[in-house]
Amino acid sequence: MACERFAVQHGPLSVEALTRAVEADARPRGEGCGAVASFVGVVRGTHQGRPVRHLEYEAFEPLAVKVFARIAEEVAEHWPDATLAIHHRIGRLNVGEASVVVVAATPHRAEAFEVCRYGIERVKQIAPVWKHEFLADGDAWIEGAAADPDDRDARNAALARASRAMA
Amino acid sequence: MRVTVRLFARLREAAGRPAWPLDLPDGATVSDVWQAVVGAHPALEPFGAALSAAVNAEFARMSARVHDGDEVAFLPPVSGGAADDESVTQ
C-alpha cells in the first residue's frame, strides 16, 4: 500500500501519493507528524533566455536510489524526528512536468522546510542523474560538479542553505 | 580478470557505447580501468578532470582495487552541482 520512499521512475510523479506515504510513516514516530513540506522540481520553459522544447533525464538507477537513502541517513543525523522521501523521474519530460519530488515530514513546521531544502540540495550535489536539454536550436547536457558524497564542504553548503530556508 | 565498464550521459555519448567487457591484470584499480577506457576512446581523456566512479553501484575512489566480475561505472558531473547557477557544457 505505501509507496517506496526512494525511487527512480519513468512514469509521472505523484506528490499526493508520496505525501500520504511519508505522513503515514512519520505519524507513529517520536512526537508524531505535524508538518509535511514538499518540493517539486519542474521542467522550465527557458534556459538562459532560450526556449526549451523538452528534457531527457538519465540516471544510474540503483546508485541513485542508494544515494536517496543515504541523504535520508544524513537527515537523520541532524533532524532525528524527520522522515524524508525522494522520487526522481527519468526519460523524456515536457515543459511543466515534475522531474523530482522531495517530501519531508517532521513534528513541527520549521524543520519540515529545512529538511526538504537539505534533501533537494543533496540530490543536486550527489545523485547520479543527468539532464539533457533540447532547445529549439540545439541541445546541451547540464552539468554541475562531480558527485562526491564524502565532500564535507558540499554537505555543509547544503546545511547552510537548509538553515537559510528558515532565516 | 574481466570487468564490465559502464558509462553514462556525456561519457556514453562520447564513447558511442554504454557498456562493454574489459580484461585487466589482477590488482588493477578503478584508475587503471579508466586509463584503459581512455586508451580505447581518446575523446574521453578530458573528462578525467571531473569524474566520479562506482563499483557494483557503490561510489568508489579511483585508487580502489577492482575484482573479476565487477561492474565499474564512470559518471560525468551530475546535473546540479552548483545551487541554481548551472553551467551549460557542449
Domains of chain A: total? 1
Degrees to nearest 5, angle at CA A81 with A27 and A5: 65
| Calpha distance B56→B66 (Å, rounded) | 10
Q: Which of B58, B73, B80 sits opposite A124 (nearest CB)?
A: B80
Residue-range definition of the domain harbouring residue A142: 6-164
Q: What is the pLDDT of residue B86?
A: 42
Asked if A3 and A83 count as a contact pair (C-beta separation under 8 A), the reply is: no
Q: Is residue A43 part of a domain?
A: yes
Q: Is residue A97 part of a domain?
A: yes
Instruction: Answer yes or no: do A63 and B59 touch at CB < 8 A.
Output: yes
Instruction: Answer yes or no: do A124 and B87 touch at CB < 8 A.
Output: no
Q: What is the pLDDT of residue A165?
A: 62
Q: Is residue A17 part of a domain?
A: yes
Q: Is residue A1 part of a domain?
A: no
Q: What is the DSSP string of A84-99?
A: EEEEEE-EEEETT-EE
Long-range contacts for B52-58 (Cβ within 8 Å, ≥24 apart)?
B52/A128, B52/A146, B52/A147, B52/A148, B52/B78, B54/A60, B54/A63, B54/A128, B55/B30, B57/A60, B57/A62, B57/A63, B57/A66, B58/A63, B58/A66
Instruction: Answer yes or no: do A130 and B8 touch at CB < 8 A.
Output: yes
Q: Is the dihedral of CA A65, A97, A41, A22 positive or negative?
A: negative
Residue B88 has pLDDT above 60, yes or no: no
Q: Which of A81, A56, A62 is nearest to A142 (CA)?
A: A56
Instruction: Answer yes or no: do B88 and A128 touch at CB < 8 A.
Output: no
Q: Is residue A107 part of a domain?
A: yes
| pTM for this prediction | 0.93
Walk across the sheet containing A35-42 and list its strands.
A6-9, A83-89, A98-106, A35-42
Q: What is the mean pLDDT of each run of 10 residues along chain A (167 residues)?
A: 85 95 93 96 92 96 98 97 98 97 97 97 97 92 91 94 76
Bridge partners, residue A85, by sequence: A103
Q: Which of A125, A141, A149 sits opposite B90 (nearest CB)?
A: A141
Cite the DSSP H helix spans in chain A: 15-26, 61-78, 109-126, 152-164
- Nearest C-alpha of chain B: how many angstroms from A15? 21
Residue B48 has pLDDT above 60, yes or no: yes
Right CATH number for B2-75 from 3.30.420.610, 3.10.20.30, 3.30.1370.60, 3.90.650.10?
A: 3.10.20.30
Q: What is the pLDDT of residue B89?
A: 42
Q: Is residue A19 part of a domain?
A: yes
Q: Which of B9, B50, B58 sits opposite A58 (nearest CB)?
A: B9
CATH label of the domain that carries residue A18: 3.90.1170.40
B18-47 pLDDT per residue, tens: 999 999 999 999 999 999 999 999 999 999
- ipTM given for this complex: 0.90
For residue B86, which residues of chain A lie inside 8 Å, CB to CB? 142-144
- Tell me the count of A-B CB pairs closer than 8 A: 105
Q: What is the pLDDT of residue A7?
A: 97
Residue with cell 541513485: A64
Q: Which of A127, A141, A146 sits opposite B89 (nearest CB)?
A: A141
Instruction: Answer yes or no: do A63 and B81 touch at CB < 8 A.
Output: no
For residue B90, which residues of chain A lie inside 8 Å, CB to CB? 139-141
Chain B residue with minimum CA distance to A155: B81
| Calpha distance A45→A52 (Å, rounded) | 5
Domain borders along chain B are 2-75
